[in-house]
Structure 1
Amino acid sequence: MPTTFTLPNIRTEAAALWKLAWPVLVGQLATVGMAVADVAMTGHASADELAAVSLGASIWSIILVTVSGTMMAINSVVAHEVGAGAFGTIPHSVRQALWKALGVGVIAALLANLATLLFNHLYLAPEINARASLFVHIISLGLPPFAAYRALYGYSTSINQTKPVMVIALLGLAFNVVVNWLLIFGRFGLPKLGGIGCAVATAGCMWLMLGAMVFWIRQAPAYRQTYPFTHWEWPHWPEIRSMLKLGLPIGVTYFAEVSAFGAVSLLVARFGVVVVSAHQIALNFASLVFMVPLSFGIGLITRVGQAMGEGNPARARFASWVGVSMSLIFALLSAIFIAVFRHQIAAAYTSDPAVQALCVQLLLFAALFQLSDATQVATSCAIRGYKVTRQPMQIQLLAFWVFALPLGYVLGLAPQWLRDLHLAPAAPMAADGFWIGLVLGLTIAAVLLTWSLHRLSLRRLQA
């Protein structure tokens, strides 16, 4: 087990992390690929349909990522149990995580539907608001199965079984693209639903992925030692409360970042369909690229958690910094790629010249924040491997809701009362101003989380 920073040890740890992360990466890319397919395919239907899906997706993505983060507690719990050799307690933990998933999924669906009331206060045509609301009403039916899938996903990755995640996500992507094509454009006599077809496809995909994961766990020999479906078990509230105590701060952490991006999507709506569409395309592609450091982060939870479970804080610290370094190397490459190929990226999403032109401009901001975005996700996941979740939550809330959004509001909207005080630009910067705020927020989060990981890993090592 490598613990010192020599080149052979770094190579060994990097190989171990990559072995865990690459199937997760393919699975994450396939999952986000569903959202990419929704936006790209709707963008070729019409600008109005794309605007409606963009608004609906701003709510859906916030709720979806918050649910994913809240369910991530099972990753740390099972990783520590694996490290400690406590395989007999893992089935109980998984069963309780599934009960937790049921409650989280139902509450999330209700909140998503209530959030559509925000659309009535935007500056878009009523028919676009109505289409966006219907999109959310339909797609929210996929939230309960998604929560349960993420519980089984975390269990699987934490016992080093990551390939099922990849295969099932690819299956879901194929299903999503085919059903999108059938329903968006009305192929083979099916109704032409436009953006609503995306909602139907994605909700159905969530149920398909849950069923496929249950089937895989029932059939694969790798799960026999920790098989969770041996018998029925009622909710054990102390266990569920413990997981909520660990998972809710992660959910709030994810919410702080994604809601900041989602709030920007809602605030730029007043500037019209072109701005909304360009912003959503740039954000969608940045989210796709973000899956690589996120996959390293998910692998880090397992590597760090297992090291701490076996009582080896030196290995946990070593694994943390190797993972963060790998994320940074990728971020540098992705920043160069986005900056060089931004015109081609915009053209792949939409054929509207006005949307393309603005999207190219926003993709430069996306390239700029790659390093800080990769750093903050890798460091926060490493910290969660130590079963510490509140401090990352506090840092994310500070970075995005105290710095990023207020600055974006000042620069993007430039309200008259701030202009009178000479605290805002003479004219609103629209989407550009909000993206400047997001770059600042990600940078602050990256710096503070790096310092937090350094201090936490050092304290555990000294103890």
Structure 2
Amino acid sequence: MDKRTKTKLTYLQRARAGAAVCDHLVIELRETARLALPLTLAQLGQIAMTTTDLVLIGHFSSEAVAAAGLAVKVYSVCVTFGMGLLAAVATIAAEAFGAGKLASVRRSVRMGLWATLLLSLPIMLLPLLSEQMLVALGQAPDAARLAQQYLVGLTWGLAPALWFLAIRSFMGAVHRPQPILWIMLAAVPCNALLVYLLIHGKLGLPKLELFGAGLATTLVNFATFLAGLWFVTTRRPFSDYHVLAHLWRPDWTQMRRLIVIGIPVSIAFLMEGTIWSAAALLIGMISTRALAAHQIAAQVGAILFMIPTGISMAANVRVGYALGRNDGPGVKKAGLVAILLGTVTSAILAILIIVARFEIAEFFLGNQAGALIDLTTDLILVGASCFVTTAVYSIALASLRGLKDTRIPLLFAAVGYWLVGFSLSCLLGLKIGFGAIGVWVGLSIGTTLYAALLVLRFLLLASRLGLQGR
């Protein structure tokens, strides 16, 4: 064989290898998007319920929307801590599903339901005692009183909301998340109707105002959990797993795995949730007007965050699935494809939000004073970069969860959010005097550092697994 023939064959082999790599990436992108789409839409449905509450409450006054925003922050701290533990359910179940260990999938879901019950009972005390806590933290007494009214109605839906998340984790882990989307599509309009009726006392119902808004969401949380339970127990392929079989029998080995993986995730999530709560408290010390603007900008960010959150759930499952198959290169491919997908999607949405920021502010505030609308649009503009970096870190963090790497990311959260982000927020917002905008700039810098550390960590671990897989 002459030299030209060898060169031609080498070129063809490289072209085929390159085409094969592209095919694998396209397949991974398609599988990630297929899994992420219903999870993302379900997440948007979840945040839509809270947004509905804020929109309906916001037409009372800026004080009411500020109080409701504070209440949501307190409630989110509780939900966030539970979400961390339930993230371990998806991690363990996805790996077991990839390895074909279906009994382990069932045990992880069963212990997730038990852990949720045991966890939700003590953490319900926090929102029920929120008025005294908020006043002690420097919030206006009237805002704290209104926030307490909302939370008294909202808190009782905490346990069913977390149970529903456990069911969602199971459905995602076995690559069948579509029923969650159907449930949320029904829940959003039902929540909007109930919130309106109970706030204003329509159709013969009592006028409950902020308490009614919280109670409406609690009732919907119970309904979504029962709907999810019906799917799991009666519809195939979910019923084949018999996740409620031997429900009263403890599985301490599986519970220990959930705790070891989930508690660091819960603490990291708690750091994430409390940094935004701390930011709200800092801005509340500036003025009620600044707090109202912050709540709206943060709510816009929370809506955007649901999209990368859905992608991050898919990344967790895909990485865990590849790990269960002992596919080292597949682990790296799954994580990087998800990070790229989330980054591009969030960047496009951030640009759209910047363009529409004035309309968004007017939607939430109606005919409020122009100064409040101006501040809200400024915060949305400043927070655009924060929205994108938040997407990156959430997907990278979920990819690391798929590898059961949760302790080092906890350290990264402490450094990025609190050591850097919160310190800069205090300095820029209160000491230098940039106000709410300064607080948001500090948070944006902190999230950027956190995202960079997580991506580097994932690349390091995935590269090691890729080398072992060769």
Q: TM-score, normalised by structure 2?
A: 0.92
Post-superposition CA distance 1:410-432 (Å, at most 9, x none): 11111xxxxxxxxxx2xx22211
The aligned runs of 1:108-257 (5 Å cut-off) are 108-257=123-272
What residue is the counterpart of 2:298 in the other structure?
A: 283
Unaligned stretches of 5+ in structure 1? 415-424
Aligned-pair CA distance for 1:204: 1.5
Query: Counterpart of 1:398?
Result: 415
CA–CA separation in structure 1 for the residues paired with 2:326 and 2:89:
19
8 Å contact from structure 2 (residues 99, 325) kept in 1: yes
Report SS of the residue matched to 2:203. helix
SS of the residue 1:218 aligns to:
helix
- CA drift of 1:213 comes to 0.5
Offset from partner CA, 1:239-264 (integer Å, 9 cap, x none) = 21220111111111111112101111
State which drifts further: 20-29 or 250-259: 250-259
SS at match of 1:229: coil
Separation in 1, partners of 2:193, 2:372: 26
* Distance in 1 between residues matched to 2:247 and 2:38, nearest whole Å: 31
**1-side partners of 2:240 and 2:72: how far apart?**
40
1:321-354 per-position Cα deviation (integer Å, ceiling 9, x unaligned): 1111111111220121121111011111112133
Distance 1:239 1:111 in 2: 28
Aligned to 1:448: 453
8 A contact 1:116–1:136 mirrored in 2: no
Structure 2: gaps of 5 or more residues: 1-16
**What's the secondary structure of 1:261's corresponding residue?**
helix
CA distance in 2, matches of 1:217, 1:279: 39
TM-score (norm 1): 0.93
Q: Distance in 1 between matches of 2:141 and 2:107?
A: 49
Partners in 1 of 2:408 and 2:183 — Cα distance?
A: 33
Residues 155-194 of structure 1: CA distance to partner in whole angstroms, max 9, x if unpaired?
1110111111111122222221111111122222333322
**Hey, what does 2:335 align to over in structure 1?**
320
The answer as to 2:399 corresponding to 1:382 is yes
Q: Does 1:431 align with 2:446?
A: no
Q: Shift in Å at residue 409 of structure 1?
A: 0.9
1:24 aligns with 2:39: yes
1:12 is matched with which residue? Answer: 27
Q: 1:461 aligns with which of 437, 459, 466?
A: 466
Q: What is the CA-CA distance between 1:76 and the residue it aligns to?
A: 0.6
Question: How far apart, CA to CA, are the structure 1 residues paired with 2:225 and 2:32?
Answer: 26
Deviation at 1:32, TM superposition (A): 0.6
Larger-gyration structure (1/2): 2
Question: Structure 1 166/3 Cα, relative in aligned 2: closer, same or farther at 3 Å?
Answer: farther
Q: 1:433 is paired with a residue of what secondary structure?
A: helix
Q: Distance in 1 between matches of 2:20 and 2:305?
A: 27
Q: Residue 95 of structure 1: CA displacement?
A: 1.3
Correspondent of 1:356 among 345, 348, 373: 373
In 1, Cα distance between the equivalents of 2:19 and 2:56? 49
What's the secondary structure of 1:188's corresponding residue?
Answer: coil
Cα distance between partner residues in 1 of 2:247 and 2:301: 42
Which of 303, 306, 311 aligns to 2:321? It is: 306
| 1:86 to 1:409, Cα distance in 2 relative to 1, 3 A | same
**Superposed displacement of residue 113, structure 1:** 2.8
Q: Is the 8 A contact 1:102 1:144 kept in 2?
A: yes
Letter in 2 for 1:397: A
> For residues 413 and 137 of structure 1, what CA distance do their matches in structure 2 show?
32
1:370-400 residue CA offsets vs partner (Å, 9 max, x unmatched): 3211111111111111111112221112111
CA contact (8 A) 1:25 1:291 kept: yes
CA RMSD of aligned residues (A): 1.8
Q: Give the paired residue count.
A: 450
Contact 1:43 1:49 in 2 (8 A): yes
User: Structure 1 62/266 Cα, relative in aligned 2: closer, same or farther at 3 Å?
Assistant: same
Higher mean alpha-carbon deviation, 239-248 vs 282-291, is at 239-248
How far apart, CA to CA, are the structure 2 residues paired with 1:66 and 1:355?
A: 32
Q: C-alpha distance in 2, partners of 1:116/1:398?
A: 30
Structure 1 52/77 Cα, relative in aligned 2: closer, same or farther at 3 Å?
same
How much does 1:123 deviate? Answer: 4.7
Q: In the aligned structure 2, how far is the partner of 1:319 from the partner of 1:92? A: 26
- Cα 1:28/1:322, change in 2 over 3 Å: same
Structure 2 residue aligned with 1:370: 387
1:108, 1:143 within 8 Å by CA — same for their partners in 2? Answer: no
CA distance in 2, matches of 1:256, 1:123: 20
The structure-2 alpha-carbon separation of the partners of 1:158 and 1:366, relative to structure 1 and needing over 3 Å to count, comes to same
Distance 1:269 1:5, change over 3 A: farther
Mapped partners of 1:131, 1:36: distance in 2:
17
Q: Which amino acid aligns with 1:227?
A: H
**Distance in structure 2 (CA, Å) of the matches to 1:232 and 1:69:** 22
Cα 1:195–1:302 shift into 2, 3 Å? same
Q: What does residue range 323-342 of structure 1 map to in structure 2 within 5 Å?
A: 323-342=338-357
Distance 2:86 2:304 in 1: 22
Alpha-carbon separation, structure 2, partners of 1:432 and 1:118:
25
The 2-side partners of 1:146 and 1:65 are apart by 11
Residue 41 (1) aligns with residue 56 (2): yes
SS at match of 2:237: helix
Deviation at 1:357, TM superposition (A): 1.5
CA contact (8 A) 1:186 1:192 kept: yes
Instruction: Please name the residue that 1:263 is paired with.
Output: 278
Separation in 2, partners of 1:392, 1:4: 35
Q: Out of 423, 426, 442, which is 1:409 matched to?
A: 426
C-alpha distance 225-130 of structure 1, shift in aligned 2 (>3 A): same
Deviation of the 1:236 alpha carbon: 2.7
1:172 and 1:108 map into 2 onto residues whose CA distance is: 25
